[in-house]
Amino acid sequence: MVIDAHREIQERLLDKSILIFGIIAVPTLLTSLVLVFDLGWQPAFTVNSIAALLIILFAVFRKTISYPIKTMFLVAVYFIIAVSSSLNFGLNGFLLEFLMLSVFVGVVFCGKKQAIWIYAIGTATIAAIGFLHVKGIVPLIPDDEIYIRNISTWVAVLTTFMFITGLVILIGGEIGHFLSEKISELQAVNQELRSANQEIKTLQGILPICSNCKKIRDSSGYWNQVESYFEKNTNAKFSHGLCEECLEKLYGKQEWYLQRQKKQADDQA
């Protein structure tokens, strides 16, 4: 039951995250296309544009895609965006933000073990990209000042900030809302169990009973008829009659009983 509840909240959060990511991918894609006119076509624009289109498609068809594929896709997209952008724009390419986001997504949707692997790969990625830039192996965009002063750059910064903080707020709020729902459900179930328990009375231990009259002594020291004792301490009710042995003992010599017995014997014959 706990496992089912955990997976339920994961799937709900994942679908909402992909939906929000898909919505924000639209202006991000347009921003990348606008930057082409100012900075020229950069390799990062190709990767980011393809990633944005895939994100939009995943957002549209998220209900038909399996949970593992959606989680792997989300983590992979964050990695690709971080690496492709930082190779051209250095630290201006949101390397740290998207790598940290991939680790966060790994913890929430994949588990601690997978998140540790994502963390290790992210650390190695930062070290590798830093080495490439320090050694001058990977060139930056031709004019970093144009990039910084371009309004499209700050639109990208704004949308990235909105997405990352919005995703954190969404996940945190959804977890709180989901836990509140489950607590309410558990409280309702507990109330039903308490009500049912109040209707059930169970006799336990040794009952002192008279060996002659068969009365039962209660906790106050009073002797009660068996019927009254059980009706008081359980939900059982009694109807009275006579067994065959008692009928024979009480009425065996009376005429009506003898005739009754004779009639029963004739019917059986």
Q: Torsions phi, psi of 227, nearest 5?
A: -60, -50
Average pLDDT over residues 147-175: 69
Q: What integer pLDDT is reported at residue 19 of this predicted model?
A: 83
pLDDT band at 180 (very low <50, low <70, confident <90, very high): confident
Percent of the chain with pLDDT over 70: 72
Residues with Cβ < 8 Å from 37, sequence gap 6 or more?
none
Average pLDDT over residues 229-252: 80
- What is the distance between the alpha carbons of residues 251 and 233, in angstroms, rounded to a whole number? 34
More confident residue, 156 or 16: 16
- What is the distance between the alpha carbons of residues 3 and 100, in angstroms, rounded to a whole number? 26
Average pLDDT over residues 172-191: 76
The pLDDT tens digits of the residues spanning 55-99 come to 888 888 888 888 888 888 888 888 887 787 777 666 666 667 778
Q: What integer pLDDT is reported at residue 214 of this predicted model?
A: 83
Percent of the chain with pLDDT over 90: 0
Q: What integer pLDDT is reported at residue 254 of this predicted model?
A: 83
Angle at alpha carbon of residue 202, lines to 201 and 203, rounded to 5°: 125
- What is the distance between the alpha carbons of residues 71 and 113, in angstroms, rounded to a whole number? 14
Q: What integer pLDDT is reported at residue 218 of this predicted model?
A: 82
Residue 107 has pLDDT above 70, yes or no: yes
Average pLDDT over residues 243-267: 81
- What is the distance between the alpha carbons of residues 189 and 182, in angstroms, rounded to a whole number? 10
Q: List, in sequence order, every residue forming a beta bridge with 116; answer none if it has no partner.
A: none
79 sits in which H/E element: helix 67-89
Kindly report the average pLDDT of the chain as a whole number: 76
pTM, full prediction: 0.51
Residue 182 has pLDDT above 80, yes or no: no
| Alpha-carbon distances of 19 from 3, 12, 15, 74, rounded to whole Å | 24, 11, 6, 11
Q: What integer pLDDT is reported at residue 208 of this predicted model?
A: 85
pLDDT band at 233 (very low <50, low <70, confident <90, very high): confident
The pLDDT tens digits of the residues spanning 5-27 come to 667 777 878 888 788 778 877 77
DSSP per-residue string spanning 31-77? HHHHHHHHH---HHHHHHHHHHHHHHHHHHTGGGS-HHHHHHHHHHH
Q: What integer pLDDT is reported at residue 150 of this predicted model?
A: 66
Q: What integer pLDDT is reported at residue 235 of this predicted model?
A: 74
Q: What integer pLDDT is reported at residue 237 of this predicted model?
A: 80
DSSP per-residue string spanning 120-184? HHHHHHHHHHHHHHHTT-S---S-HHHHHH-HHHHHHHHHHHHHHHHHHHHHHHHHHHHHHHHHH
Q: What integer pLDDT is reported at residue 80 of this predicted model?
A: 81
